[in-house]
Amino acid sequence: MRTMTPTDEEPATPVDVDETVVTDVAAHVVEFTLGTETCAIDIDSVDSIVETKQITRVPRAPDAVEGVMDLRGETTAVVDPKEFLSVGEGGATENILVLDGDEDKQKIGIRVDEVTEVASYPDTQVDDNGQLDGITSSAISAELINGVLRKHVGTVDDEGVPEDVKLVLWLDIDALISSISNGDGTIEADNQV
């Protein structure tokens, strides 16, 4: 059983994840909303979830880099993936997912509207990049997503067919951060994912 809390300093309601429920896990992710889209990143990439604090803007930083904040005595860069992915505006952006990076590198946090859940997906509910060739999106062509997760909504019948399916964009956070740090943080405006 794994437990995630918003910060080490603040009490929070833990999110319990029973890692034995799904045996053929292809994706174990943290889901969140960005604008009107539901997205996810690998749970192993997330160090913590924190509430938004004072952010100091950094001059001449790429548009997707919102600035830096102090997080438990460490300077943490804050990235707004909405700028980069053009997913549109959504609700209030109250949470920052702090990424679990190399010890010798600066911590990075991504601003999200809301963290919704931790979920596991079997192979049958994952369409990876090789299966998305027919979709024209610069985020897919730039290989910024690992694939699309098919989240079952409602009941599943005896044949395993769900009542409804919601698509979740499974972001490749390493590729996204790398693109921003390399200065290619400006993907053309037609990249609606």
State the pLDDT at residue 159.
Answer: 84
State the pLDDT at residue 3.
Answer: 46
3-state secondary structure of 42: strand
State the pLDDT at residue 131.
Answer: 54
Question: Is there a contact between 80 and 66 (Cβ–Cβ < 8 Å)?
Answer: yes
Helix ranges (DSSP H) in the chain = 81-85, 138-141, 173-181
- 124: DSSP letter: G
State the pLDDT at residue 193.
Answer: 38
Number of residues in the chain: 193
Q: Residue 70 half-sphere exposure, CB side, CA atoms within 13 Å? A: 3
State the pLDDT at residue 142.
Answer: 54
Regions in the chain scoring below 70 on pLDDT: 1-23, 84, 86-93, 101-104, 129-142, 181-193
Question: Is there a contact between 29 and 119 (Cβ–Cβ < 8 Å)?
Answer: yes
State the pLDDT at residue 28.
Answer: 95
State the pLDDT at residue 86.
Answer: 66
Question: Is there a contact between 58 and 68 (Cβ–Cβ < 8 Å)?
Answer: yes
State the pLDDT at residue 68.
Answer: 92
11 token code pair:
């009490």
pTM for this predicted structure: 0.72
Question: Is there a contact between 139 and 81 (Cβ–Cβ < 8 Å)?
Answer: no
State the pLDDT at residue 89.
Answer: 67
Closest CA to 143 of 135, 152, 151: 135
| Domains delineated in the chain | 2-181 (2.40.50.180)
CA distance 168 to 106: 28
3-state secondary structure of 109: strand
- 85: DSSP letter: H
CA distance 99 to 131: 27
